[in-house]
């Protein structure tokens, strides 16, 4: 079945549905715009046959036609069947639901699988994209399930459900959209709704966390669910609200985290976690495990039981799912000796990193700085010279201390920078003066924090500054120079990607707090 455009796909869906009478206004608009698209001979029958055999030719065509970048904006990542089957097996072992709700249905892979597993259940599928909704309706129509299904073409957060006499099961893959793509009104809804539950929530949360919260709003005691999402919420600060929700409100039962090497969502650089819950559960321990292969998911039954109190008190959950070795005698956390800070954000590297456009500025405001991770990777364990580094323009907030000639050159540069919009960015508007980058003091040790390899720790012997591409390690108290050198050597030898947060594809990230939690030899051991 070769479908080349979204218009052809929409036309095929309408033909499979058998008309537009049941469609929402958004779907009708799309259907009307696609009416001129002609179907190839045999295309309709071919699609019907594949759907009847359990395939998803419409969803496959959609992911082929719409680019990954375009789908990423809406969080449209379609789930492999092996993961869906494991989640459905778990669901069947919990209850026989009277209603199934899929909050981000796409072409209907979850809701269709649920319809087969539970032939008496009512099906509710929620989807904002009218093309995806057409695919979903077409799949339902071919299976003869249009009468038992309700398709809501709207935002899940605005959905209200009628009462249900039996258990409702919530299952699916909530869309992954970062906070940058979420409107301020929904961020306010997220914070205020969590606040009513006595939980403080961050506006940095992604859309999939909003879906967990809305499920808490819709679910009744005894309702069950399983969502597959990215796993980042387990560790990041903005995930703390969801972690509390699962322990105290939504009734988390199990957490199955796929190892980073497993590409759960093909074409995306994110790890995956399957979260199972029963609304109202507050006593039962939570079963957790790390899963090395999709085939090992089985029915989501294996794992170790962790008391809810232990999870509630843990600042991050990955260390519970993948526990590290116990501390050895004579070890301390790096954070006991160092504060770790990400470098300063310039807000506009093209303006604040020196080049031909800054030739007239005095050398005193051009600070040698590490501006890319490659600077450290090339230097290795010892950065002895700043000659190869680029310069960052770091003007003071008060410009009165410059000579008349220098002040004239600085003014001309700032007028140029203003014409480039340097004054209007978010970072610039939140500085004491928009032109003052405010580089941090030189850090004695620098380290990379995002790569497909372990971090590079480098002794900053030339007192270079750094921007937010690397972290700086600042001693909490003066340390002997010998200790610094030995620590850098030890870190480069002993820190691995396993100490950080690894995403699908092998990209590993170390946040400042994760670097501070690294266990290192004590100062006495380093100097021995």
pLDDT at 210: 96
**159 touches 126 (CB < 8 A):** yes
The overall average pLDDT reported for the chain is: 88
The mean pLDDT value for 135-154 works out to 92
Cβ-based neighbours of 112, under 8 Å, separated by 6 or more: 139, 140, 143
Nearest-angstrom CA–CA distance, 519 and 132: 48
pLDDT at 107: 86
Q: Is the pLDDT of residue 490 over 90?
A: yes
pLDDT at 347: 92
Q: Which of 71-75, 264-268, 498-502 has the highest mean pLDDT?
A: 498-502
Q: Is the pLDDT of residue 325 over 60?
A: no
Q: 423-474 pLDDT, tens per residue?
A: 998 899 989 999 999 999 999 999 999 887 889 999 999 999 999 999 999 9
Q: Is the pLDDT of residue 269 over 60?
A: no
**230 touches 176 (CB < 8 A):** yes
Question: Residue length, the chain?
Answer: 528
pLDDT at 272: 84
Task: Please report which confidence band the pLDDT of residue 313 belongs to, taking 50, 70 and 90 as the band edges.
Answer: confident
Q: Is the pLDDT of residue 326 over 60?
A: no
The mean pLDDT value for 13-27 works out to 87
Lowest mean pLDDT among 54-63, 183-192, 403-412, 476-485: 54-63
pLDDT at 436: 95
Residue 435 tokens, joined: 């032109």
H helices within 251-325, ranges in order?
308-313, 318-321
Q: Is 523 exposed, middle or buried (0-12, 13-18, 19+ CB in 10 A)?
A: middle
Q: 21-30 pLDDT, tens per residue?
A: 888 999 888 8
Instruction: DSSP letter for 499, please.
Output: G
pLDDT at 416: 95
Is 505 in a helix, a strand, or coil? coil
Torsion sign (Cα): 331, 333, 334, 336: negative
Lowest mean pLDDT among 59-63, 186-190, 238-242: 59-63
Is 427 in a helix, a strand, or coil? helix
Q: 352-395 pLDDT, tens per residue?
A: 999 999 998 999 999 999 999 999 999 999 999 999 999 999 99
User: Per DSSP, which regions of 190-303 are E strands?
Assistant: 224-230, 252-258, 272-278, 286-291
pLDDT at 522: 87
Residue 151: what are its φ and ψ, rounded to 5°?
-110, 120
Q: 211-243 pLDDT, tens per residue?
A: 999 999 999 999 999 999 988 888 888 999 999
Nearest-angstrom CA–CA distance, 360 and 344: 24
Q: 150-171 pLDDT, tens per residue?
A: 999 999 999 999 999 899 999 9
The mean pLDDT value for 245-260 works out to 90
User: Per DSSP, which regions of 360-415 are E strands?
Assistant: 366-370, 382-383, 390-393
Question: Terminal CA-to-CA distance of the chain, rounded, Å?
Answer: 71
Residue 462 tokens, joined: 């030339």
Residue 201: what are its φ and ψ, rounded to 5°?
-125, 150
Higher pLDDT, 79 or 102: 102
Nearest-angstrom CA–CA distance, 221 and 29: 39
Q: Is the pLDDT of residue 504 over 60?
A: no
Nearest-angstrom CA–CA distance, 236 and 240: 7
The upper half-sphere exposure of residue 220, i.e. CA atoms within 13 Å in the direction of its Cβ, equals: 13
Q: What percent of the chain has pLDDT over 90?
A: 56
Lowest mean pLDDT among 186-200, 486-500, 505-519: 505-519
Higher pLDDT, 207 or 69: 207
Q: Is the pLDDT of residue 264 over 70?
A: no
**What is the phi-psi region of residue 519: left when phi exceeds 0, alpha when psi lies from -120 to 50, beta otherwise?**
beta
């258990």: which residue's tokens?
Answer: 167
pLDDT at 244: 94
The mean pLDDT value for 92-108 works out to 92
Beta partners for residue 170, in sequence order: 101, 225
Task: Please report which confidence band the pLDDT of residue 266 belongs to, taking 50, 70 and 90 as the band edges.
Answer: low
DSSP state string for 79-145: PPHHHHHHHHHHHHHH---SEEEETT-TTTHHHHHHHHH-TTSEEEEE-S-HHHHHHHHHHHHHHT-
Residue 44 tokens, joined: 């309709």
């605005």: which residue's tokens?
Answer: 158
Closest C-alpha to 172, from 107, 243, 259, 251: 107
- The gap from C-alpha 472 to its chain's centroid, in whole angstroms, comes to 25
pLDDT at 318: 77
pLDDT at 513: 83
Q: 33-44 pLDDT, tens per residue?
A: 887 777 777 888
pLDDT at 184: 93
The mean pLDDT value for 295-319 works out to 86
pLDDT at 322: 67
The mean pLDDT value for 82-98 works out to 92
């Amino acid at each position: 079945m070769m479908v080349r455009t979204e218009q052809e796909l929409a036309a095929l869906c309408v033909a499979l549905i058998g008309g537009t009478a049941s469609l929402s206004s958004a779907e009708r608009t799309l259907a009307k715009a696609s009416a001129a698209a002609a179907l190839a001979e045999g295309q309709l029958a071919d699609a019907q046959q594949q759907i009847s055999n359990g395939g998803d030719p419409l969803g496959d065509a959609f992911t082929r036609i719409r680019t990954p970048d375009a789908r990423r904006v809406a969080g449209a990542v379609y789930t492999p069947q092996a993961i869906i089957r494991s989640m459905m097996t778990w669901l069947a072992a919990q209850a026989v639901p009277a209603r199934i709700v899929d909050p981000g249905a796409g072409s209907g892979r979850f809701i269709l699988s649920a319809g087969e597993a539970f032939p008496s259940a009512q099906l509710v599928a929620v989807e904002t994209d009218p093309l995806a909704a057409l695919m979903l309706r077409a799949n339902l129509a071919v299976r003869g399930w249009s009468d038992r299904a309700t398709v809501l073409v709207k935002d899940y957060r605005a959905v209200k459900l009628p009462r249900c006499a039996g258990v409702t099961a919530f299952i699916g893959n909530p869309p992954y959209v970062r906070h940058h793509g979420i409107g301020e009104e929904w961020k306010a809804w997220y914070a205020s709704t969590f606040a009513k539950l006595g939980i403080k929530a961050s506006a940095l949360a992604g859309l999939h966390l909003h879906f967990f919260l809305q499920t808490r709003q819709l679910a009744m005691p005894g309702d069950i669910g399983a969502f597959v999402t990215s796993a980042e919420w387990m560790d990041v600060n903005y995930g703390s609200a969801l972690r509390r929700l699962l322990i105290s409100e939504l009734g988390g039962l199990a957490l199955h985290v796929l190892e980073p090497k497993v590409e759960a969502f093909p074409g995306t650089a994110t790890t995956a976690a399957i979260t199972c819950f029963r609304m109202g559960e507050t006593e039962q321990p939570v079963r957790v495990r790390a899963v090395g292969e999709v085939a090992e998911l089985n029915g989501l039954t294996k794992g170790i039981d962790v008391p809810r109190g232990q999870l509630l008190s843990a600042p991050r959950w990955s260390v519970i799912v993948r526990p590290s070795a116990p501390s050895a005698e004579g070890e301390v956390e790096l954070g006991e000796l160092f504060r770790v800070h990400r470098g300063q954000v310039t807000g506009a590297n093209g303006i604040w990193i020196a080049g031909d456009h800054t030739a007239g500025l005095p050398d005193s405001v051009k600070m040698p700085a590490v501006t890319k991770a490659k600077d450290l990777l090339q230097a290795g364990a010892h950065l002895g010279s700043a000659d190869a580094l680029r310069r960052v323009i770091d003007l003071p907030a008060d410009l009165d201390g410059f000579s008349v000639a220098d002040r004239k050159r600085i003014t001309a540069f700032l007028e140029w920078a203003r014409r480039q919009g340097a004054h209007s960015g978010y970072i610039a508007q939140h500085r004491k003066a928009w032109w003052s980058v405010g580089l941090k003091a030189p850090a004695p040790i620098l380290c990379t924090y995002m790569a497909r390899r372990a971090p590079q720790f480098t002794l900053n012997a030339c007192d270079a500054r750094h921007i937010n591409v690397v972290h700086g390690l600042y001693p909490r108290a003066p340390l002997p120079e010998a200790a610094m050198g030995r620590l850098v050597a030890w870190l480069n030898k002993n820190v691995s990607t396993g100490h950080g947060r690894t995403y699908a594809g092998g990209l590993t990230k170390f946040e400042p707090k994760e670097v501070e939690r690294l266990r290192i030899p004590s100062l006495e051991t380093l100097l021995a």
